[in-house]
Amino acid sequence: MDHLAEADRRHVLHPATSIGAHQEHGPDIIESGEGAWLIDGQGRRLFDAVGGLWCVQVGYGRPELADAMAASARRLGYYHTFGGASNPEQARLAERLAALAPKRLNRVFFGSGGSDANDTLVKIVWQYHALRGEPGRTKIIARKQAYHGTGVATASLTGLTSFHRQFNLPLPGFLHTTAPHYWRQGRPGEGEAAFVQRLVQDLEALIEAEGAESIGAFIAEPIMGAGGVIPPPEGYFPAIQRVLRRHGILMIADEVVTGYGRTGAWFASDHFDIQPDLMASAKGLTSGYFPMSAAFLSDAVFEVLREGDKTLGNFAHGYTYSGHPVGAATALANLDLIEREGLVDNAREVGAYLHSILAERLGDHPHVAEIRGLGLLAGVQLVQDKASRQAFSPEAKIAAKVAGAARRRGVIVRPLPSVDSLALSPPLIVTRADMDRVVEAIGGALGEVL
């Protein structure tokens, strides 16, 4: 192990990492990147079919982003945005985002990542209802298998039990309804429409049991990411939103993974007829080059907050790095590239090709049960027995083994161990030939492991 690897091993506590494995093997150092390729500490080239952590829309090593960051850092570098202070980059970005976001979402609050965007939205939900005379509406309904972040509140929104077990979470008042995964949750003989009806009934039953007057919002990823890349069944969101509207519950779309072109539209809410009152975004906003989030509010929610200002005083929430000029400059340059290079269209077109070759080349594999997703977001469901849907035992660590074998073939895919699935979320610049390479590596990995 060289000096830097040893320094890392001795001094860094890594996120979402086995401490024992890191201590034993040291870190996996990535030196540089170019396009969809990474170069590791041994000089090996790896094709990154995950785009970092589902975020590198424009690819690695883009000089356009580096130049925009450097120019902004040279001009100002930093100033806060508290008390109405601003900078040209923040104002320009807010105007541009309001034009891109689902209609009604014309106000934006900037932070540093997806977790703080969702945390901000939870507080806005509380404030909104309190100002409208319903301070009891504090509970938030999320879904099992959801991922909404890692803060104390946002890990509570998260519906993956692996993020709760070690920390005595979720906090009270964070509720979880059924995951909309037809393949896994559908009952024998139950059609997709009947499944959606059952999900609606589950939600109604939860609202009734808790009391609608105690519930502030419902939060959902348009397509679940870390929970398995799960698109909604047909008609799911319109049906759910009818229930929410009837009970005065706000709809939060968590577009942290699905935003900024990932699914072949600027935001996935547009695909599924989601009409969010609030929306979280991060990741692809800057392609990961700068930690930045944008939390959106509808005009109606904003008007309530504006009225509240008269009685409550300042909006008492904000981060040192809210509206960071270098972050906003990065985001603007990133949006320029996405637009100029037609990456939203590319995600739709190359994404459709990816889904077709996954189905064609892997769909008949005896241990591949389902291929899911939209655009350049895909999930591959592995299963022990296809007919009975018997899962592998957790000790088999199947998803991790297949991802390891793909990596030995030079392709990074993301294992989702709790759902025996592989996730793909490559940079939006990829070509059909790149996708051939990825699917070939997964096919080879499946052949080696299973």
Name the site residues for ligand PLP (rule: CB under 6 A).
53, 113-115, 118, 147-150, 221, 225-226, 254, 256-257, 282
In the block, tokens 């870390």 appear at 226
- Closest to ligand PLP by CB, 115 vs 177, is 115
- Closest to ligand PLP by CB, 219 vs 441, is 219
Task: Give the shortest CB-157-to-ligand PLP separation in angstroms.
Answer: 9
- Closest to ligand PLP by CB, 154 vs 446, is 154
Measured over the CA atoms of residue 49, residue 53, residue 54 and residue 56, the dihedral's sign is negative
3-state secondary structure 283-317: HHHCCCCCCCEEEEEEHHHHHHHHHHHHHHCCCCC
- Closest to ligand PLP by CB, 257 vs 338, is 257
How far, in Å, CA of 415 to CA of 5, rounded? 24
How far, in Å, CA of 232 to CA of 241, rounded? 13
- Among residues 255, 234, 247, the alpha carbon closest in space to that of 118 is found at 255
- Closest to ligand PLP by CB, 236 vs 392, is 236
Residue nearest to ligand PLP (CB): 114
Task: Give the shortest CB-318-to-ligand PLP separation in angstroms.
Answer: 17
Task: Give the shortest CB-160-to-ligand PLP separation in angstroms.
Answer: 11
- Do the beta carbons of residue 181 and residue 373 sit within 8 Å? no
Task: Give the shortest CB-229-to-ligand PLP separation in angstroms.
Answer: 11
Task: Give the shortest CB-175-to-ligand PLP separation in angstroms.
Answer: 18
Q: Tokens for 246, please give them.
A: 């009837």
- Closest to ligand PLP by CB, 321 vs 392, is 321
Task: Give the shortest CB-398-to-ligand PLP separation in angstroms.
Answer: 22
Task: Give the shortest CB-150-to-ligand PLP separation in angstroms.
Answer: 6
Instruction: Kindly report whether the peptide bond that precedes residue 172 is cis, defined as omega within 30 degrees of 0.
Output: no
- Closest to ligand PLP by CB, 219 vs 445, is 219
Q: Tell me how far CA of residue 413 lies from CA of 56, 247, 326, 366, 380, in angstroms.
A: 14, 41, 30, 20, 10
Max CA distance (Å), the chain: 65
- Among residues 171, 172, 176, the alpha carbon closest in space to that of 160 is found at 176
